Structure 1
Amino acid sequence: MNLFEEMGLPGPLVKKLALMGITEPTPIQTHAIPFALDGEDVMGLAQTGTGKTAAFGLPLLAKLMEEPGKPAPKAVRSLILAPTRELAGQIRDTLLPLVKDTPIKVALVVGGASIGAQIKRMQMGTDVLVATPGRLLDLLDRRALSLSDTRFLVLDEADQMLDLGFIHALRKIAGLLPSTRQTMLFSATMPKQMEEIAGSYLTHPKRVQVSPPGKAADKVTQGVHFIAKAAKGDLLVELLDKHREELALVFARTKHGSDKLARKLEQAGYAVAAIHGNKSQGQRERALRAFRDGEVRVLVATDVAARGLDIPDVKHVYNFDLPNVPENYVHRIGRTARAGRDGAAVAFCAPDEMGELKDIQKVMKMTIPVLSGRAWEELPDPKAAPSGRGGPRRGRGGAKGGGGQGQAHGHGAGQPDQAQGRPRRRRRGGGGGGARKQAA
């Protein structure tokens, strides 16, 4: 008898896990599954890549196996909400092998795909519906499905749903669910607002935490280059040249920036693709498939992909632009060193990103090792009273042009694009006009 059997999972599920080569539960699974099987609400906190999907998926399927019968037309017996299309698809793909040769049906509804086909798919009802909040509300508005029979609710990566502004959608969806239900909430970080969400959705939950919020995977080697914005592209090409045969994921802040960077890398001879919110679902799936299969060696992405990518062979993560939500850094670098492998995460920090770096290190509770250059002086708040000095100050990271030392050399660049959230800080010493902001 293995540990999955000792937890009380049904034999057919245990056998399927064994056929998949899974015989030992991860820590989050070990702690969460017994509570979930007992019918308790669960709040699970664990870093990315630790098996959270199976931690809620296995007990959910076990519960459904105990309840015979088919779902009524348009009915949803259990609902799993995820913030992005990629993560929703990943959850669906994880569950499908576990329900093979069983009557349990798993359906996926996300934006960017034909809503007509999804409406037709839901006519017969489903046992498990994996959905993004926006598309789910679209289908509810069209009376294409009903949540009145939903007995189980899972909120996966709930902190990112808050980051992406889904709080009102979540409240609306929760109001359509039966009050008698089992709810599981899983997340990699625990921002203050999450406590409020947990209090609203969970009833006396069992809290399971196997690693501190904000902690990166143990096998990720981190480092930062202090470098002028204009020099980032050349440094990225230089670093990528050292491992052309290995998969690398590059994070940019905006859609426009992702496409521009992908074109530069393509001109440098790389097999590259970009994914972001302006890409159709089909384009995103094709890009991810090519990346997973090794046809594309470099994938440029916005944070829309930070939670949904589960590709064990990703060896390198580059934070070309630092995220303005520090917790997103944790999720970005969690795309490497998965399934026990090693990985490297490299950040590029321009003068106007020192505030972001400081916030990231505070969340991580560590100082990220410096690979080149020297730390820039953090830029003053533009809303603060003027200092009275007669001109803009230069950063400490390098010479007159604003670059760092070593590989972090280069000249100053224009003001970067703005992203969602708080306004970007201005850089010292002139600068061109910023591009229009684009959501990821």
Structure 2
Amino acid sequence: MTDFATVTAELMPRLREDLKHLASIPSIAFPGYPAEEVHRAHDEVVNLLRDAGVDRIDRLDLPDTSPVITGHIPAPEGAPTVLLYGHYDVQPAGDESLWDSPPFTPTEIEGGKGLRGRGVADCKANIIAHIGALRVHGGRPPVGIRIVFEGQEEYGSAFDDYPPKQPELFAADAMVVADMGNVRPGEPTLTVALRGAADLVVELRTLKQPVHSGEFGGAAPDALLAMIAALATLHDADGNVAVEGLRRDAWEGTSYTDEEFAELAGMTPEARQIGTGPIGERLWHGPAITVIGLDAPAVDTAAAAVVPYARAALNLRVHPEQDVVAAQRALVKHLEKLRPMGQRLTVTAGDAGAGFAATLGGPAYTAMGSAMETAWGSRPVEMASGGSIPLVNALSKAVPDAEILMFGAEDGHCGLHAPNERVLYDELAKTVIAEAAFFDEFARRFRD
């Protein structure tokens, strides 16, 4: 039997260098950024796959979408097929003055225990973990392999809804979605649910133009005051969502401590969490409504006038198993019924993306639990994510019988999408061990 830990330890120096090189490419697939860098990352990942033993590699081109890398290693006789997902694009770096080192100059941290740089955790370490697991098996794993590495996950693309249109490209018995990680370093974690997400815009106009606050204030309808009154109805006094029809259930998996959450969220010392009940329930198994934008006069240039127009952008997060469109309608209905200070609101629904709840207890899930115990020395815990991976739901629709397993080399403290994003080498190594062991364990259980 292969000693996965020993083989991985031998591979890690090279895997670390591969990660540094890949993370040095600013593959930002947002408008206004150079597309050639995304294509350069694409070519680098293709080379890594070929080196890892994937001979059949193709490219899927869709309108206004960075190329999707697909690949295939045929399954041995009687063995299952595993789809490996990741993405090679990254978030913009943001304010580079907040970084301790240049975001696209990958820099070792903590005495060589990890690597800092944009995209090192989300999601290039997970790409390297897939590469590493294939190298552990010398490019000939005991299962069939399908590769799906996209290049525009962070911005969204035509690929988000594509898999059900060509399900044969994604046919697999299990899918390993490596765009997640452990709740905290050293604690093996499977993500088993994703909240859905929906957007909407609410606006109102009450006056043709601003009017003098002394001459008209007190009777002239203030659009901003009415908007504030409307937004205040979305939560109760404790900060719990107060919109009828939005689902919230108890959460039985692992979660953060209050102190850990405060640190991760960057809460100021005097700030307090909003809402009541367990953190996991609030973050992952219930709704959240966030005001993500508000059109209002700037304080520094404010005039003494009644505001005639106000607009707010809302982001709704939805229980993983609630119909996201129905939840969006519930919020629209709540707002349209309001008459804040007698004013009528105009509500426009925007994009909506469904949540996801994994099927638990199948052969792939059981095999991954055993493999993660091999890597980390303890059974994995379960968590959910308040974020979303648009493709997961599309993959589930394309291949409804496939078990979807979400894990990876990230961890809850890695700072993805933030300044000083980092990945720990030990987490990367254990992710490689777990995935390589999963191939063996799943093949055995599949035959049994």
Same fold (TM over 0.5): no
Q: TM-score, normalised by structure 1?
A: 0.23
Which structure has the larger Rg?
2
Q: TM-score, normalised by structure 2?
A: 0.23
